[in-house]
Amino acid sequence: MSRRDWRLFGRLHARLYKSLGGRLVGSVGLGREVLLLTTTGRKTGKQRTTPLVYMPHGNDVIIYPSNGGKESPPAWWLNLQTNPGATIQIGNTRRRIQARSVTPEEHAQIWPKAEAYNPHWRNYAKTISRPLVILEGVDV
């Protein structure tokens, strides 16, 4: 798919997710769940919503800025680096979060679980070097 097609797919997925409360479109199969991440655009200041596979991690969640294995990082990750405050929606539940890269110690503990949870992340990590991102709940 082209970059334009992926963007269109992401917008459609986000709309369906919101209207259905995550039912039918809240999973990509094999137990991997999807959330909606809403960030503030670093250049425009506009709200941007992206559906992403996430891994539960206690009261927090882990995401990986793979951008499908492309060399350039995804816009949502660049947005979070500028403004780490964002909102996620899991099912019908929305909450504010703070995003940060995991520490090297956390990475050593979390990465084996993350690559088992989503083998795509393992494959992307062979060609790109990006940190796991932890979304810590503000309104838990």
* pLDDT tens figures, 74-91: 999 999 999 999 999 988
Mean pLDDT of the chain: 83
pTM of the full predicted structure? 0.80
Query: Quick check: 86 and 61 in contact, CB under 8 A?
Result: no
Number of domain units in the chain: 1
The pLDDT of residue 107 is 96
What is the domain extent for residue 128?
Answer: 3-137
The pLDDT of residue 91 is 85
Which percentage of the chain shows pLDDT scores above 90? 53
The pLDDT of residue 29 is 44
The pLDDT of residue 45 is 95
- Integer Cα distance of 16 and 25 in angstroms: 7
Q: What is the pLDDT of residues 18-46, one digit of tens each?
A: 666 655 554 444 557 889 999 999 999 99
- Burial label, 140 (beta-carbon count in 10 A; 0-12, 13-18, 19+): exposed
CATH number, residue 91: 2.30.110.10
Three-class SS of the chain:
CCHHHHHHHHHHHHHHHHHHCCCCCCEEECCEEEEEEEEECCCCCCEEEEEEEEEEECCEEEECCCHHHCCCCCHHHHHHHHCCEEEEEECCEEEEEEEEECCHHHHHHHHHHHHHHCHHHHHHHCCCCCCCEEEEECCC
pLDDT at 16 over 70: no
